[in-house]
């Protein structure tokens, strides 16, 4: 089965700095990689995703990069704001048919004002 490792477990930055969270996966069949944000006491929500036929995707201050050869993908947040403080989860899975994502353990991002 798929195994997803996520680092770091905690990331503390100053407002305005960039933050990078990295995930590695084990199953070369995985082709869909979403990122979820979970604020304290709230439900996880999708913030960005990438498919294996694309190397990078951007949406305003967030971007995701994928290296299929090395089997890793990263979330980049630029110009961080206090409201970016949350736990971020990466996931990997194979789309189509039985899609069952495997989640990383999460990264707690703290943005200090």
| Residues found near another protein in the complex (CB under 8 A) | 4, 6, 9, 32, 34, 36, 42-46, 49, 89, 91, 93, 95, 98-106
Q: Residue 18: helix, strand or coil by DSSP?
A: coil
41 vs 113 by CB, closer to another protein: 41
Minimum CB distance to another protein, residue 15 (Å): 25
Minimum CB distance to another protein, residue 113 (Å): 25
Cα–Cα distance, 92 to 30 (Å, whole number): 6
User: Which residues touch 82 (CB under 8 Å, ≥6 apart)?
Assistant: 15, 111, 112, 113
Cα–Cα distance, 94 to 111 (Å, whole number): 33
Minimum CB distance to another protein, residue 9 (Å): 8
Measuring CA to CA, which residue among 109, 112, 113, 111 is closest to residue 10? 109
Cα–Cα distance, 14 to 19 (Å, whole number): 10
């Amino acid at each position: 089965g798929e195994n997803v490792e996520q680092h770091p477990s905690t990331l503390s930055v100053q407002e305005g700095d960039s933050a990078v969270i990295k995930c590695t996966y084990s199953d070369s069949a995985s082709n869909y990689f979403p990122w979820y944000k979970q604020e304290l006491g709230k439900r996880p929500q999708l913030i960005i995703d990438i498919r294996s036929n694309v190397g990078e995707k951007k949406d305003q201050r967030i971007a995701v990069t994928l290296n299929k050869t090395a089997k890793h993908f990263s979330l980049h947040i630029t110009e961080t704001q206090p409201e970016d403080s949350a736990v971020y989860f990466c996931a990997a899975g194979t789309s189509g048919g039985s899609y069952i994502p495997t989640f990383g353990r999460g990264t707690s991002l703290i943005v200090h004002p």
